[in-house]
Amino acid sequence: MIEPVLPMTTTKSPQPSLIVHELTDFDHFRHVFGAWSGQFQQISRGRFRGTAAIYAGLCIRAFRAETNQAIYTRGLDQTDLVTVIPITAANENTSWRGRKLAKGNLLIKGPDIEYYNQTARNTVIDALLVPLDTFTTVAGSLADAMVGHKCSRSIAFRPSVEAMQKFQTSLDALMTLPGAINRCDAEVMEQACLDTLSMCLSCSESDIKTLGVNRLELINAALDLMIERFEGGLKSEDFCAALQVNDRMLRRAFKQAFGLGPIAIYRQLRLNRLRHELKSARGSGQTVDALANRCGFRRLGALAAEYKILFDELPSETLGVRGHIGIQRAIRQESATYE
């Protein structure tokens, strides 16, 4: 089995390396980032494709995630790493904690802050992960405002264009290295990342924007309720009653964060859960009907059509039964990928 590679600890790697995973299924994406205790859901419709590149270096880590589908991510990585993400043309349509950032901004998430974002289709996210003590040294007097006691949420600010370009160039250099890397070269390139990051952090505290709005707490409460009730049955009035808000406010909050209403998001979360159940049940003799009923789906004809639109395959194809030519061979090939 391939071991999940995130979260990445701050223990120094004996040999720095860049590993690139070609992803042909959303569960492959879950697996690569599987050691991180976050939630991942495919929101847009269609078959998933992507690439995940993971750099494990001497003192820093980095990753590049490129996906063709919109993905909702939420969770706390439970490490002492600070995440630094440049906002570029390839990810400026991503919603960070319910808010979009313009190209040229730098997003910084401290280790105690929940990761929370909603990507658009065809998004590329590059991230540098720096140990907290190293970041504190680099940030100097601004460390407390960025990742310390004075900061309870993710932050963003706009560095100078020159500093941002140099930082992106040094980060891109890490993400395009060959698999095995000379330790001396890695040390030089990692220091270049930290030096250019230091240039970006040459700002004043007044330039820093805190990412977090009251609506985010409302969205999180609604999502928690959805997860508790994956078997179905929740309606708009149930959300409003449980969260003590009106329907208009709830819809507006979800539209801003996801581009969809709460019921549509609830449906897609349940379809993602059903897909996980179907794949887990391969070879067990369980039926699509039984698994769908367990997830609260009753109208199976409508479900099959909706499921195919979202995942580009029928539930029976995911389960590995009739209707999918060569499915058993595909299952064996997929299993071999992780051996």
Q: Are 45 and 310 in contact (CB under 8 A)?
A: yes
What does the domain layout of the chain look like in residue ranges?
17-210, 214-337
**Residue 224 confidence (pLDDT):** 86
* Strand boundaries in the chain, DSSP class E: 17-23, 39-42, 50-56, 61-67, 71-75, 81-86, 95-96, 99-100, 106-109, 115-118, 123-131, 155-157, 209-210
For the chain, give the mean pLDDT. 85
Q: Residues in the chain, how many?
A: 339
| CATH class of this structure's domain 17-210 | mainly beta
Higher pLDDT, 137 or 217: 137
User: Quick one: average pLDDT of 243-248?
Assistant: 85
CB 77 within 8 A of CB 48: no
> Cβ distance 72 to 118 under 8 Å?
yes
Ramachandran region, residue 46 (left: φ > 0; alpha: ψ -120 to 50; beta: rest):
left
CA torsion, ordered 50, 31, 40, 85, to nearest 10 deg: -60
pLDDT value at position 11? 45
**Which residues are paired to 117 by β-bridges?**
73, 96
Sheet holding 50-56, edge to edge: 17-23, 50-56, 61-67, 123-131, 81-86, 106-109, 155-157, 209-210
Predicted confidence (pLDDT) at residue 13 exceeds the cutoff of 70:
no
Q: Read off the pLDDT of each residue in 326-334 and give the average, rounded to a whole number.
A: 45
Does this model's pTM top 0.85? My answer is no
How confident is the model over 54-83, as pLDDT tens digits? Answer: 999 999 999 999 999 999 888 877 789 999
The first and second tokens of residue 150, run together, are: 């004075």
CATH dotted code for 214-337: 1.10.10.60
247-258 helix and 214-228 helix, angle to the nearest 10 degrees: 90
Q: Rounded to whole angstroms, how far apart are CA atoms 261 and 245?
A: 15
Residue with tokens 């600010």: 157
d(CA 329, CA 84): 41
**260 has pLDDT over 50:** yes
Measured CA to CA, the distance from residue 169 to residue 175 in angstroms comes to 10
Segment 118-123 mean pLDDT = 94
